[in-house]
Amino acid sequence: MMAALRRDKLLSFALIFVILQLLLAIFAPIVAGDPIEQVIMSRMQGPSLENPLGTDQLGRDVFARILFGYRTSLLTCGVAVVLALIVGGSLGMLAAFYRGWFDRIVMRIMDVLFAFPIILLAIGIIAVLGPNALSASIAIGVVYVPIFARLLRGPSLVICESEYVQGARAIGASDSRIVFTHLLPNLSSLILVQASLLLSAAILVEASLSFLGLGAQPPTPSLGQMLSEGRNFLLLNPWPAVFSGFAILFLSFGFNLLGDALRDTLDPRLRNSTD
Amino acid sequence: MRIKTLGAALLASTCLFSAAQAATLDVAVDSSPAGLDPHLVTAFSSVVVIGDTIYEGLTTIAEDLSVQPGLAKSWEISEDGLTYTFSLHENVTFHDGSAMTAEDVAASMRRVLNEEMGSPLASRISPITEITIVDDTTIALTLDAPFAPILTSLAGIAIVPSEAEMDTEALQQVPVGTGPFMFSEWVPNSYISLTAFDGYRDAELPKLDEVKFHIVPEAATRQVGLASGQYDLLPGVDPATALQLQASPGVTVLETRDLSYTLIGINTSRPPFDNAVVRRALNMAVNRDEIIAAALFGNGVAAGPLSPALQAWALDPATFDCYSGDAASAAALLAEAGVETPIQAELLVLPRQDAKDIAQVVQQQARAAGFEIELVNKEIGAFVQDWRNSDFDLFASANGGNPDPDGYFYRTFYGGGSTNVFMYDDAEVNSLLDEGRTSTDMATRQAAYNAVQTKLACEGPIVHVAYGSLSTAINDNVSGFVINPNRRLSSLKSVEVSE
Amino acid sequence: MRFLAGRLLDLVLVLFGVSVIVFLMIRLIPGDAVAIMLGANTEITPERIAELESRLGLDQPIVVQYFDWISGIFRGDLGTSIWTGRPVAQEIAANIWPTLQLTFLSVLVGAGLAIPIGCFMAEARGKTAEVLVRVGAIAGLTIPSFWLGIVSIFLVAKLMPGSAMLGYVPFGEDPLGNLQRMILPVFALSLPMLANLSRLVRSAMLDALGQDYIRTAKSKGAGRTRVVYVHALRNALIPFITSVGVATGYLLGGAIVIEQVFAIPGLGQLVLGAISERNYPLVQSAILVLTFAFVLVNFLVDILYAAIDPRVSQR
């Protein structure tokens, strides 16, 4: 791994970029001030020494809100991707493993979920669950379930047909043993790469949902929400909208670059498949 | 079909230079009306299009909120205050060409009162028990008890053709009234167009040929559209946009004090908010000036129970001793009364930017006085449901106003009132409200409403936060527009546009 | 032919699943249509609620409501908007053009520009170029399009306050003005697709250029331009079409947010508004139409795919 890092400057750059943002999010309470405290008399200020990225309409520190927004965003999307991976990934692998009617039913249901435009399905799910960060997690998770299922089913099929798995079956290895010793290890690079790429996409989806007022709710800071509030007084004070947009871009960019570079390093065969 | 309109557009654009341009006023509004039936849809998005433009009532509310003659040129009130006899203008016709008579007025009243119609306006004229057509141009309305606000209320009851009495659908799509403008076209989510009505009772009016209401949901787009001359008038501009528009050349922002107010509602059936001392403490903890600076961009005044626009009635908020914005004395008051702090409460927030901002500021201000408030954000449908079922501790929202104090108070604060979601029931307030409603003596009403205001301001179920400005932005080529605090575009008939 | 029939059957099954999900989902949303319709701050009585419910058919059992809706669709009747009383089909028709136009123009711009840009980028070789292309493409892909929209609105409002680039005018009313106002939203919406596709074109081009038959063609004396544009592009076609198909679907979704930013009266606004109004007939039919469009695009991509590469249909 270290050797790979030395070889691949891009991967190391991506890793550093992502880790830096993760650290900022984790240590937000130390690095920045209180994201909720209002100093109404100094509202809508531009960047200054005291507020490096200015203040918003209620006089809150934009820098602190962005760092805490990172937390919201990462937590929401992290939960979503893990959820999608566990549910979707297992469904895909099991479908490949058992084949037959189970495969057919599962994949048909995945087709139905996949048929919705992502945002639309997420909006519907959040409407049912109520607008908050957890609903956004669940909504994004559900939306990504078919992606993981489809993604893992194909390679799993190949592995299950392979001679060594057939051999293991012949000598009486249990189903769970085959899944855990053959299937999962062989899929781990694929999973890692896709999780990173989907996290990047999820950050954008979460931001869109928050932008529409369907993500984390005030007073919890969230990047999309800052952007949508900021746009109401863009001409008076563009900073909250501008900076929160950059924050979304950096976060999403970091994970996408990481996934992209990981793909090269871990699995050269995947090199040219985009998306 | 689209090709046809394209052809028409090309044709129109080639004719543009030869023919004199018709005077069209382009208005940009933020949302599409749910329907245009004046008795069924009372949302602002509908009223702004049809109120005092397509439809008229027997009376009308002037810009100073006084009651003026509308379709009725005069009226007489019987000595007992129970019978109002209206003389109607002669030669008034509906846009479909039929004559407007006392029968249409009677049918309109019956339509609103009819339970099967389900009109939200019914309670405004519910005291009417008898409708008597004296002749074609005279009609008498009899009340079961004296009801001082009746003339104000009648301004909001549009007169529709009698054929529509039992029809809940036709007028939603194609309104037919007696006003200066008639309905022409509605392209959903795009625009609603009204054209001048030739047969209007004042032959001089309207001066415009057409009024086009463009539906433009995004504030920034409306703002840029007005500045670039694409639109001529924006009614109901939010404070942030108003501030930005004031700096635009060629644009004037007209302002008047709004009748509606932002508020924190309190569920008085839930301890400890059943205790008037706790409500008083919350009122004290709220610093209205800070909220106005933050959420209304400085453009508003601290709210008492009545808008300062009701000059004859409203008490100055400075007279309310609880409007101190002082968290320390609020905490002291709670301690003195032996109320256990911190007081935990959930605050339901209307999904609208000003309400969200107000909720967050109040959350911080009240914390210093010993209130631990948690914000609960719901989508509009869920908000309305909880609000209606009184399923909240506190809520942040806005309430509409009315030119008469009764419209502010009766349904909101009277025990069992139709929008009294606070479960508030105070014998003293109830009897004062009855007095204000049934007395026609100005001094008696004044005394009753003064007492009501003083009581509600500090210990009522509402923390009145602020009256914003009602702002309308117009292009400098528009003349003759006067802003009306009741939010109707009643002066459109005398508006002119120059190129 | 069997391939086509199989795909069609899939299509029908998927749409059936979608219809059930949409129908149930909107009814699970808390807060019912009638309460919202009567609105906040208005008087309410149980009689009024009951009256409205029966008028709207909401007092029927849920299975009956679903059956009514589906059988209506087969008769070409998408239902009636419970707010305006207008046929849903009419409401959708009034809102579908801006969405289609926005999506179509974005695909056109995104896919159209991707080919020359991708070819151009294929000329740049070497490590630095490699990294720049990659970082640029990923940045383009991850830039939030609604933010791009907002920032461009801000810049236009600040720098060119008089320009007619904001707002929306129907194409039929003012074709030129319409296109002028489409520039910013199309730019914002198509950039991620452009970034993704041009990177794809580039790598497909590089692949193709490295392959034997190109070298053969080259040695035979065909000019470089012909080599690049004929042989290489044909080879890049399949992944390109797949990506365009997938991206078109994403655009339909992305258009919902962009419509909100640029105030374009499209299907996105219709659906969002209808959800908050609990306008059941409108929401369920509009989402079904949107999803149908999405599924149809994927279906067409599959067919095209099969037409280009006959092996696919034998799978």
CATH (domain of B425): 3.10.105.10
Same domain? For B137 and B276 the reply is no
Query: pLDDT value at position A271?
Result: 46
Same domain? For B131 and B214 the reply is no
The predicted model gives B82-86 an average pLDDT of 94
Boundary-marking domain end, from B153, B173, B193: B173
Query: pLDDT value at position B352?
Result: 84
- Distance in Å, alpha carbon of C84 to nearest chain B alpha carbon: 5
Count how many domains chain B has. 3
The predicted model gives B290-307 an average pLDDT of 91
Boundary-marking domain end, from B155, B173, B191: B173
Three-state DSSP at A217 gives: coil
The predicted model gives A204-232 an average pLDDT of 90
Cα dihedral sign for B369, B361, B267, A126?
A: negative
Q: A108 and chain C: CB distance < 8 Å anywhere?
A: yes
CB-count exposure of residue C159 (10 Å: 0-12, 13-18, 19+): exposed
Q: Find the CATH number of the domain harbouring B143.
A: 3.90.76.10
Same domain? For B241 and B292 the reply is no
Of A242, A137, A152, A161, the residue nearest A188 (C-alpha): A152
Most A CBs within 10 Å, among C24, C130, C145, C147, to test the A interface: C147
For tokens 């002066």, what's the residue?
Answer: B491
User: pLDDT per residue over B447-499, tens digit each?
Assistant: 999 999 999 999 999 999 999 999 999 999 999 999 998 889 999 999 999 86
Model pTM score: 0.83
Same domain? For B342 and B329 the reply is yes
Q: Find the CATH number of the domain harbouring B235.
A: 3.40.190.10
Among all residues of chain B, which has the CA nearest to that of C181? B221
Query: pLDDT value at position C47?
Result: 67
Q: Is residue B247 part of a domain?
A: yes
* Tokens representing residue A262 in the block: 């990981």
Query: pLDDT value at position C46?
Result: 66
Compute the distance between CA of residue B3 and CA of residue C232 in angstroms, rounded to an integer. 40
Q: Is residue B59 part of a domain?
A: yes
The predicted model gives B190-216 an average pLDDT of 91
Residues in chain A, overall count:
275
What stretches of B264-324 show up as alpha helix (H) in DSSP? 276-285, 288-295
Query: pLDDT value at position A106?
Result: 92
Rg, chain C, Cα only: 24
Q: B498 and chain C: CB distance < 8 Å anywhere?
A: no
Same domain? For B493 and B398 the reply is no
Query: pLDDT value at position B160?
Result: 95
For tokens 């109830």, what's the residue?
Answer: B430
Lowest-pLDDT range of A100-109, B275-284, C103-112, C173-182: C173-182
For tokens 């830039």, what's the residue?
Answer: C143
Query: pLDDT value at position B345?
Result: 95
Distance, first Cα to last Cα, chain B: 32
Same domain? For B368 and B234 the reply is no
Count Cβ neighbours within 10 Å for each residue of C97-109 and write b for 16 or more, e otherwise. bbbebbbebbbeb
Same domain? For B94 and B235 the reply is no
Q: Is residue C35 scored above 80 in pLDDT?
A: no
For tokens 């108003």, what's the residue?
Answer: B242
Query: pLDDT value at position B270?
Result: 93
User: pLDDT per residue over A47-90, tens digit each?
Assistant: 988 888 999 888 899 999 999 999 999 999 999 999 999 999 99
Of C14, C143, C253, the CB nearest to A117: C253
Compute the distance between CA of residue B274 and CA of residue A158 in angstroms, rounded to an integer. 69
Q: Is residue B423 part of a domain?
A: yes
Residue B403 DSSP class: S
The predicted model gives C63-89 an average pLDDT of 85
Same domain? For B331 and B437 the reply is yes
Average predicted confidence (pLDDT) for chain A: 88
Most C CBs within 10 Å, among B192, B380, B475, to test the C interface: B380
User: pLDDT per residue over C219-256, tens digit each?
Assistant: 666 555 666 566 667 767 777 887 887 787 778 778 88
The predicted model gives A122-126 an average pLDDT of 91
Three-state DSSP at B258 gives: strand
Q: Is residue B8 scored above 80 in pLDDT?
A: no
Neighbours of C179 (CB within 10 A): 14
Count Cβ neighbours within 10 Å for each residue of B265-292 and write b for 16 or more, e otherwise. bbbbeeebbebbbbbbbbbbbbbbebbb
CA angle, B51 as apex, B45 and B56 as ends, to 5°? 160
Taking CB atoms and an 8 Å limit, are B380 and C156 in contact across chains? Answer: no
CB C140 within 8 A of CB C194: yes
User: pLDDT per residue over B213-262, tens digit each?
Assistant: 998 877 777 888 888 888 999 998 888 888 888 888 889 999 999 999 99
Q: Is residue B25 part of a domain?
A: no
Pairing of strands B210-215, B24-29: parallel
The predicted model gives A143-159 an average pLDDT of 90
The predicted model gives C261-286 an average pLDDT of 84
Q: Is residue B76 part of a domain?
A: yes
Of B353 and C39, the structure prediction assigns the larger pLDDT to: B353
Q: Is residue B408 part of a domain?
A: yes
Give residues 193 to 232 of B whose Cβ lies within 8 Å of A.
Answer: 219-220, 223
Compute the distance between CA of residue C217 and CA of residue A40 in angstroms, rounded to an integer. 72
Average predicted confidence (pLDDT) for chain C: 80
Could you give phi then psi for residue A13, rounded to 5 degrees? -60, -50
Neighbours of B45 (CB within 10 A): 17
Q: Is ipTM strictly over 0.90?
A: no
Contacts of C134 (CB under 8 A, 6+ apart): A10, A257, A260, C199
Lowest-pLDDT range of B156-165, C141-150, C195-204: C195-204
- Residue B366 lies in domain: 261-467
Query: pLDDT value at position B3?
Result: 41
Give residues 217 to 276 of B whose Cβ lies within 8 Å of C.
Answer: 217-218, 220-225, 227-230, 248
Query: pLDDT value at position B294?
Result: 87
Compute the distance between CA of residue B262 and CA of residue B398 in angstroms, rounded to an integer. 4
The predicted model gives C154-159 an average pLDDT of 81
User: pLDDT per residue over B34-70, tens digit each?
Assistant: 789 999 887 788 889 999 999 999 999 999 899 999 9
The residues pairing with B87 across neighbouring beta strands, listed in sequence order, are: B74, B138
Q: Is residue B188 scored above 80 in pLDDT?
A: no
Q: What percent of chain C has pLDDT over 70?
A: 83
* Tokens representing residue B135 in the block: 């002749």
Q: Is residue B162 part of a domain?
A: yes
Three-state DSSP at A4 gives: helix
Same domain? For B249 and B284 the reply is no
Q: What percent of chain B has pLDDT over 70?
A: 95
Q: Is residue C95 scored above 50 in pLDDT?
A: yes
Most B CBs within 10 Å, among A227, A231, A233, to test the B interface: A233
For tokens 């209205």, what's the residue?
Answer: B288
Compute the distance between CA of residue B403 and CA of residue B66 in angstroms, rounded to an integer. 8
User: Is residue C161 reached through a cis peptide bond, with omega within 30 degrees of 0 on the bond before it?
Assistant: no
Q: Is residue B246 part of a domain?
A: yes
The predicted model gives A164-183 an average pLDDT of 82
Taking CB atoms and an 8 Å limit, are B2 and C162 in contact across chains? Answer: no
- B1 pLDDT band (50/70/90 cuts)? very low
Give residues 218 to 237 of A whose Cβ lies within 8 Å of C.
Answer: 227, 231, 234-235
Same domain? For B290 and B304 the reply is yes
Same domain? For B238 and B323 the reply is no
Same domain? For B310 and B458 the reply is yes
- A201 pLDDT band (50/70/90 cuts)? very high
Query: pLDDT value at position B448?
Result: 95
- C161 pLDDT band (50/70/90 cuts)? low
Compute the distance between CA of residue B261 and CA of residue B456 in angstroms, rounded to an integer. 14
For tokens 């189970």, what's the residue?
Answer: A102
CB B127 within 8 A of CB B145: yes
